[in-house]
Structure 1
Amino acid sequence: MPTAPAAAEGRRGWLDRLRGNTITRSLSGLFSRNPKLDDDLLDEVETALITADVGITATTEIVEDLRRRMKSREFADAQALLDALRADLLAILAPVSKPLVIDRGARPFVLLTIGVNGVGKTTTIGKLAKRFKDQGHPIMLAAGDTFRAAAVAQLQAWGDRNGVPVVAQGQNADAASVAFDALQAAKARGIEVLIADTAGRLHTQQGLMAELGKIKRVLQKLDPAAPHEVLLVIDGTTGQNAISQVRQFNAAIGVTGLVVTKLDGTAKGGVVFALAREFGIPIRFAGIGERPEDLRVFDAAAFVAALLPESLGGG
């Protein structure tokens, strides 16, 4: 039977970790001034959303909806508009707020992680390994990023730290061969979750993108249903470039879930709305800090609550 994820982490934690990013600062600052309900307010909302990488399409839809309702006198004051904005943002994210569910019957459930260099992919795998092990899943890692010797060593270090076995063949090994060996070993040992790393690649590198298809075909020789999850890791600071990455990776292998990292600090944050609006792919996790526990199950309600003050004049 599938295992449901742990309960969503507290909203206060989201607020504390997201407080510094662009969209939180701009929207909170805008409404903390107790603004007047007029076209100037809508113009400021529009600017804040575009600046935070929400995207032109999603921003236009949101602002035009608010403008129409304001002209129809649906809003008694700016507080009512704030409430409507919160509802509109939540409506975009709610359909993609779908936590990853591990099917214990898969034996093993194969999770293939993909993404460009520098997004925090290998670190995300390490954090996921700790999370799943803490949930009681026997787990194994496959060091399939064979283009970087440091990536293999990094994954092995995460395995040692968490007491998780790692299948590796070293630098320049065939990534599909590593994945095949790992799946064989996982089946033999009764492992429940196998997380396979892959080489970080630019979405424009067609040869490396084609290799993802090879890895998938090789895995399916042992299990026609594998991989059960293709998790694309996206850097929340890359803004609209993330759209191109998702489009290309999805075309190459079929993405079933997203992890958006680095949403704390200087990240603009709005890219999650653009991704949700453009692709509708579930956002499984959000990275809002360096600690393992800062890889959070994505919670649309908690995310939106962290972006906007509850009331005018509130922080």
Structure 2
Amino acid sequence: MSNAWRSLREGLARTRQAAFGRIAQLLGATEIQESLWEELEAALLQADVGVAVTEALLARLREQVRREGITRAAILRERLQAELRALLGDPPPLNLGRHPLEVVLVVGVNGSGKTTTAAKLAHRFQQEGRRVLLAAADTFRAAAGEQLEIWAERAGVPCIGGQPGADPGAVLFDALQAARARGYDLVVADTAGRLHTKYNLMQELRKIRNVAAKVVPEAPHEVWLVLDATTGQNALPQAREFHRAVGVTGLILTKLDGTAKGGALFAIAREMGLPVRFVGVGEGLEDLLPFDPTAFVEGLFMDAASAAT
């Protein structure tokens, strides 16, 4: 078993124990009764899967049971896992590794874990052989640049920032110029946390994106929205507004190890169609894992005995 898979299933413990464990119990070795559907609906909603996704899932499962004459709940469990896995889809290849200089823009609301995530991304890409530079384009929060510099030092990645209150677009411009001059091939840019409901702040984010495009053709090559898993269904409106503002290309789910609300991922996947690229399962540099949709769904339904081994 890989360390990544072990970390993922350990990180999913709260979601599994609080919500999906109940679903797994419901769909044990019993016959399918009408009352089971009501209990399953309640359990899916408790798991933060969301009303629309729950209704769609139950409709599909009822149709399969009717059409195929399924009577055992254990088979229904397998079908539910398959439906959840299908919701997550298969992510397209990253738009990275094809250009001399590439830009990843990291966006999200306050407190989602953007700054640490940006540093973890830089570390991961550096481990893969990329020459990475961090851009501290969060000039709004006074401690953000200092925090990113500390993480950058841990990761062994250079960081370029500006004074608190400086124009974040200018900081990114300087970072991109420095990267080009010094022969770096990837810039990971941390941006200020902003409420998705604040129009002016979202406009500022558009300007940062435009700066990247002016300096580097086709940039930003990826725009990743960092979502705090503990927010549950509240992550969905965030995803809508950030996508509308800057064209999000993928999601990063943080704090998955500290919440029972991991089911919200299915609602976001169904409505937005955005791939989940990474999940955060801890505080260390290595605790940002590439998202594996199959392992994610299996981890949600793993029973306690299997999870302990």
TM-score bracket, normalised by the shorter chain, equals over 0.9
Higher RCO structure (Cα 8 Å, ≥6 apart): 1
Deviates more, 1:64-73 or 1:78-87: 64-73
- Report the counterpart of residue 8 of structure 2 in structure 1: 14
Identity within the alignment, % = 47
1:87–1:57 Cα change, 3 Å: same
- Report the counterpart of residue 37 of structure 1 in structure 2: 32
**Quick check: 1:139–1:165 contact (8 Å CA) kept in 2?**
yes
- Report the counterpart of residue 189 of structure 2 in structure 1: 196
1:256–1:30 Cα change, 3 Å: closer
List gaps (5 residues or longer) in structure 1.
Answer: 1-7
Structure 1 residue 245: deviation in Å? 0.7
- Report the counterpart of residue 176 of structure 2 in structure 1: 183
- Report the counterpart of residue 301 of structure 2 in structure 1: 308
- Report the counterpart of residue 260 of structure 2 in structure 1: 267
- Report SS of the residue matched to 1:178: helix
Task: Write the letter of the residue equivalent to 1:149.
Answer: A
1:63 counterpart = 2:58: yes
What is the distance in 1 between the residues matched to 2:48 and 2:284? 26
List gaps (5 residues or longer) in structure 2.
Answer: none
Query: Which structure 1 residue ranges, 4+ long, deviate > 6 Å from structure 2?
Result: none
1:293–1:40 Cα change, 3 Å: farther
Higher helix share: 2
From 135, 142, 153, the equivalent of 1:160 is 153
Structure 1 residue 123: deviation in Å? 0.8
The alignment yields a C-alpha RMSD, in angstroms, of 2.0
- 1:5-41 superposed Cα distances (whole Å, 9 cap, x missing partner): xxx86533322221112x5532223433634421222
1:277–1:9 Cα change, 3 Å: farther
From 91, 96, 104, the equivalent of 1:102 is 96
Task: Write the letter of the residue equivalent to 2:10.
Answer: D
Structure 1 residue 99: deviation in Å? 6.0
1:151–1:303 Cα change, 3 Å: same
- Report the counterpart of residue 136 of structure 1 in structure 2: 129
- Report SS of the residue matched to 1:119: coil
1:91 counterpart = 2:90: no
- Report SS of the residue matched to 2:232: coil
**Quick check: 1:229–1:257 contact (8 Å CA) kept in 2?**
yes
From 159, 167, 175, the equivalent of 1:174 is 167
Task: Write the letter of the residue equivalent to 1:239.
Answer: G
From 223, 242, 246, the equivalent of 2:216 is 223
Task: Write the letter of the residue equivalent to 2:135.
Answer: A
What is the distance in 2 between the residues matched to 1:49 and 1:24? 13
- Report the counterpart of residue 4 of structure 1 in structure 2: none
What is the distance in 2 between the residues matched to 1:265 and 1:212? 29
What is the distance in 2 between the residues matched to 1:282 and 1:117? 22
Aligned length: 304
**Quick check: 1:114–1:231 contact (8 Å CA) kept in 2?**
yes
- Report the counterpart of residue 19 of structure 2 in structure 1: 26
